[in-house]
Amino acid sequence: MRMGAAQREEDLVDEGQRGFFGKFGSRIGKPRIDAAPPNLHTREALLLLQNYEESGQGWFWSTDAKGRLTYITDSVAQLMGRTSGQILGSYFTELFLPVDGHGEHQRTLPFLLTKQSKFDELPLRSAFEGDDRWWAISGRPQFDAGGRFTGYRGSGTDVTAQRRSAEDASRLALYDSLTGLANRFNISKKLDSTLAAFAQQQRSCAIMLLDLDRFKQVNDTLGHPAGDALLKQVAERLLKIVGDKEMVSRLGGDEFKIILPDVDDRGKLGDLAADIIASLSQPYSVDGSRCIIGASVGVAIAPFDGVNSDDLVRNADLALYAAKGNGRGRFAFYSSELHQAAEVRRALEEDLRDALARGEMELHYQPVVQAKTNMVTGVEALVRWTHPERGVISPGVFVPIAEETNLIWPLGEWVLRQACEDAVRWPGDMRVAVNVSPIQFANADLPKVVAKALAATGLSPDRLELEITESVFLGDSADTAQMFKALKGLGVRLALDDFGTGYSSLGYLQNAPFDKIKIDQSFVRGATEKGSRNSALIAAIVALAEALEMETTAEGIESLDQLDLIRKLNVSHVQGYVYSKPVGNAELLEHAEAGSWTIKPAGPARQRNDRFSLFRKVGAVHDNHRYDVVIRNLSATGAFIEGILDVPVGTQFVIDFGEGQLVTATVRRSMKHQQGVEFEQTMVSDGNGGLCTRHRVSPYLIAAATQSTAGMALPAFTTTSDWKAA
């Protein structure tokens, strides 16, 4: 007998986990149990119940016909902040919060009770303040011998822990545990379903892929916890700008994806991308350390750049890659040309490995001129690569490739050595400035390499100036200080390059031993624009530099009005086309022969803004006829077209820039073979100094149009090719 009871108790406890009490309730009335001698059996059952209640595994309740509590396990009443005595008599339903039914697919408790239905493991939330427990409640209606309803008897178990872990699991499955943003799985499901629905409705949807610049550096130098803290702040900033929490996701690492339904305006998307980049590039405070990172953004828009998520994401990725290749901290839109560009880049990477050995690298030198006297005090060495097939390639293109492939180290070493070698042979004591990549700066061997170049060539150290960009301050500050000390110890000069482009902080200047600050050309250009505060900032930089006994150089000065402004602002040196483009060593020697070299500034009176001298073949459609034309001097508001003869002023064309980029243009000036046209809708920035149309013609429309147009009409105008043929 005891054995049997003990065994049953074990059973009960076991089953209790899975809601035994529902079954227990029904078992109470079973004939097998009733068949045992009544008093012995009742005592045993009561003991069992008591044991069970005390074990904390579950509890019991009963109500009268009106639903008022007639029994509740005391320990549970206490969990609810009462004694059972206090609770008895109150309505059972009052113990629980009403369930909103959301996602539960369940009848509510009051409904079940009034229907006198039995129920099993109904999940309910405790209504008592401070008690956010969940209960699984089971109940059976009771009837007297006459079949009248007398109330309920039932049981409950605490399912809070299971419920929490289920919630956690579903959150983990969909959200990034670090930032709380949607995770990769979640966002790709969302993109799939959005695109599928939108394709039917012919709606557009943009995505942005975002990658942090220099995040790895922060992670490596400040440690992973700091990296995590930084990512959280990035997520917060992103949410602030984008707003829609569900559409922003972290894919992993430092990659993020944003879905922007119903947006296809590239003007708006460009503005949004620029806002995101600007916001993420503001300094962060992490564990008391200040750090700065950047961001690059790739944008692709459905249906123009792909209708399914695979294509769209691949193309956004390509755009992101292009944005990074363009110098980071930028955005880029996808265009089909990028596939080709990515190919070219891969090929360049291959060729770059052999370029040095093949003698394809060369240094050019651009004069740095004293603003007051027009005297050349030094030159900056700028590396040039003449590719056997592709011709001259800009360092803006191949230096980043070299940085990514570790080729920057042999390249940098060669530049240093070559610059010193050339400089030693120059008459006079002109200085030579050499650009040092942050990757070189991060290598503890740099001072040795510099010392070797000086020793091997015999150049006096004070004639060598190393140009460093602010990004070196992103690394470990102790290492940075050590490096500055070692370089200064060699007696070389240090210049801060591209000031005003990145994370400029005047704070750096006070501690770093710079001899010169080079103010970036974008900063100076901005200064000549109306309402710009750059002039005031340049004045402040100059004042600070003077106080710290540093020189200043304004870079990229092209026009006389800029030179004027720079002189007024007391910037000490100028480097730019207004004095000279970079020249080869032979040409430099010719000029510098006399031992001193002065240059008379020459250039346009003022900077012509935003004109791109572009020679690009496009289509011009008039009266259903398409002409091939070449476009020149493209600006946001207009361009020149060449290829059609004698077009009357006022004629309207639709210019087809390709890939669905159509712009209505009106001829405002007409020479024989060239027309100046004005665009009806201004073009917008493509993120890389170029222009693109705000909107594109949807591929759906193009498909519909090609089906319905029977053919093109006869030309209304003669073209230059007809003219040449005649």
Question: Taking a C-beta distance cutoff of 8 angstroms, is the pair 295, 210 a contact?
Answer: yes
| 374 vs 579: CA distance, rounded Å | 8
Decide whether 494 or 667 has the Cβ nearer to ligand C2E: 494
Q: How far is the CB of 462 from ligand C2E (least distance, A)?
A: 20
Among 67, 223, 327, 395, binds ligand C2E (CB under 6 A): 395
| 185 vs 182: CA distance, rounded Å | 8
Binding residues with ligand C2E: total (CB under 6 A): 22
Chosen from Mg ion, ligand C2E, none, partner binding at 366 (C-beta under 5 to 8 Å by type): ligand C2E
Give the Å distances, CA to CA, from 278 to 91, 254, 455, 608. Answer: 59, 17, 44, 26
The neighbour count for residue 677, using CB atoms within 10 Å, is 26
142: nearest Cα among 134, 133, 132, 151: 151
Q: Point out which residues pair with 386 in neighbouring strands.
A: 392
Stretch that binds ligand C2E, among 58-66, 70-78, 395-403, 641-649 (CB under 6 A): 395-403
Residue 556 lies near ligand C2E (rule: CB under 6 A) = yes
| 635 vs 245: CA distance, rounded Å | 37
- Report which secondary-structure segment, H or E, holds 393: strand 391-393
Residues 573-592 that bind ligand C2E (CB under 6 A): 575-577, 582
Beta-carbon contacts of residue 623 (< 8 Å; ≥ 6 apart)? 713, 716
End-to-end CA distance of the chain: 120
Decide whether 286 or 408 has the Cβ nearer to ligand C2E: 408
Residue 366 lies near ligand C2E (rule: CB under 6 A) = yes
Tell me the residue type at 191: L
Give the Å distances, CA to CA, from 607 to 27, 396, 513, 547, 578. Answer: 94, 22, 34, 31, 11
Residue 383 lies near ligand C2E (rule: CB under 6 A) = yes
Residue 396 lies near ligand C2E (rule: CB under 6 A) = yes
Decide whether 335 or 435 has the Cβ nearer to ligand C2E: 435
Beta-carbon contacts of residue 653 (< 8 Å; ≥ 6 apart)? 620, 621, 622, 641, 664, 665, 666, 667, 677
H helix intervals, 56-157: 74-79, 84-87, 109-114
| 191 vs 201: CA distance, rounded Å | 15
Locate 260 and state its tokens.
């922007």
Residue 498 lies near Mg ion (rule: CB under 5 A) = yes
Residues 645-674 that bind ligand C2E (CB under 6 A): none
Decide whether 303 or 576 has the Cβ nearer to ligand C2E: 576
Residues 484-513 that bind ligand C2E (CB under 6 A): 497-498
Q: How far is the CB of 359 from Mg ion (least distance, A)?
A: 24
Decide whether 327 or 461 has the Cβ nearer to ligand C2E: 327
Q: How far is the CB of 501 from ligand C2E (least distance, A)?
A: 9
Residue 470 lies near ligand C2E (rule: CB under 6 A) = no
Among 183, 437, 693, 720, binds ligand C2E (CB under 6 A): 437
Locate 170 and state its tokens.
């579903």
| 369 vs 592: CA distance, rounded Å | 13
Q: How far is the CB of 270 from ligand C2E (least distance, A)?
A: 22
Residues 77-96 that bind ligand C2E (CB under 6 A): none
Among 177, 394, 405, 505, binds ligand C2E (CB under 6 A): 394
Q: How far is the CB of 547 from ligand C2E (least distance, A)?
A: 25
State the burial class of residue 322 (Cβ atoms within 10 Å of its Cβ: 0-12, 13-18, 19+). buried
Residue 690 lies near ligand C2E (rule: CB under 6 A) = no
Question: Taking a C-beta distance cutoff of 8 angstroms, is the pair 499, 518 a contact?
Answer: yes
Stretch that binds ligand C2E, among 181-189, 453-461, 551-559, 617-625 (CB under 6 A): 551-559
Residue 471 lies near Mg ion (rule: CB under 5 A) = no
Stretch that binds ligand C2E, among 50-58, 220-228, 453-461, 569-577 (CB under 6 A): 569-577
Among 399, 524, 677, 691, binds ligand C2E (CB under 6 A): 399
Q: How far is the CB of 361 from Mg ion (least distance, A)?
A: 17
Give the Å distances, CA to CA, from 578 to 179, 287, 410, 606, 719. Answer: 50, 47, 33, 11, 39
Decide whether 249 or 366 has the Cβ nearer to Mg ion: 366
Residue 413 lies near ligand C2E (rule: CB under 6 A) = no
Decide whether 440 or 670 has the Cβ nearer to ligand C2E: 440
45: nearest Cα among 29, 57, 61, 58: 29
423: nearest Cα among 365, 362, 375: 365
Stretch that binds ligand C2E, among 101-109, 161-169, 214-222, 392-400 (CB under 6 A): 392-400
Stretch that binds Mg ion, among 492-500, 534-542, 563-571, 706-714 (CB under 5 A): 492-500
- Report which secondary-structure segment, H or E, holds 493: strand 493-499
Among 272, 273, 280, 382, binds ligand C2E (CB under 6 A): 382
Residues 540-569 that bind Mg ion (CB under 5 A): 555
Q: How far is the CB of 692 from Mg ion (least distance, A)?
A: 27
Q: What distance lies between CA 3 and its chain's CA centroid?
A: 68
Chosen from ligand C2E, Mg ion, none, partner binding at 399 (C-beta under 5 to 8 Å by type): ligand C2E
Residue 467 lies near Mg ion (rule: CB under 5 A) = yes
Residue 497 lies near Mg ion (rule: CB under 5 A) = yes
Residues 650-709 that bind Mg ion (CB under 5 A): none
Locate 11 and state its tokens.
């059973």
Residue 609 lies near ligand C2E (rule: CB under 6 A) = no
Residue 517 lies near ligand C2E (rule: CB under 6 A) = no
Q: How far is the CB of 317 from Mg ion (least distance, A)?
A: 30
Residues 420-439 that bind Mg ion (CB under 5 A): 435
Residue 176 lies near ligand C2E (rule: CB under 6 A) = no
Decide whether 158 or 470 has the Cβ nearer to Mg ion: 470
The neighbour count for residue 570, using CB atoms within 10 Å, is 15
Among 415, 459, 574, 677, binds ligand C2E (CB under 6 A): 415
**What are the φ and ψ backbone dihedral angles of 157, each rounded to 5 degrees?**
-135, 155
Q: Tell me 598's DSSP state.
A: B
Stretch that binds Mg ion, among 342-350, 388-396, 498-506, 654-662 (CB under 5 A): 498-506
Conformational region of residue 549, where left means phi above 0, alpha means psi within -120 to 50, and beta covers everything else: left
**What are the φ and ψ backbone dihedral angles of 645, each rounded to 5 degrees?**
-100, 145
Residue 422 lies near ligand C2E (rule: CB under 6 A) = no
Q: DSSP letters of 301-327?
A: EETTT-SSHHHHHHHHHHHHHHHHHTT
State the burial class of residue 48 (Cβ atoms within 10 Å of its Cβ: 0-12, 13-18, 19+). middle
Decide whether 470 or 497 has the Cβ nearer to Mg ion: 497
Question: Taking a C-beta distance cutoff of 8 angstroms, is the pair 140, 60 a contact?
Answer: no
Q: How big is the chain, counted in residues?
A: 726
Q: Contact residues for Mg ion (CB under 5 A)?
A: 435, 467, 497-498, 555
Q: Contact residues for ligand C2E (CB under 6 A)?
A: 366, 382-383, 394-396, 399, 412, 415, 435, 437, 467, 497-498, 555-558, 575-577, 582
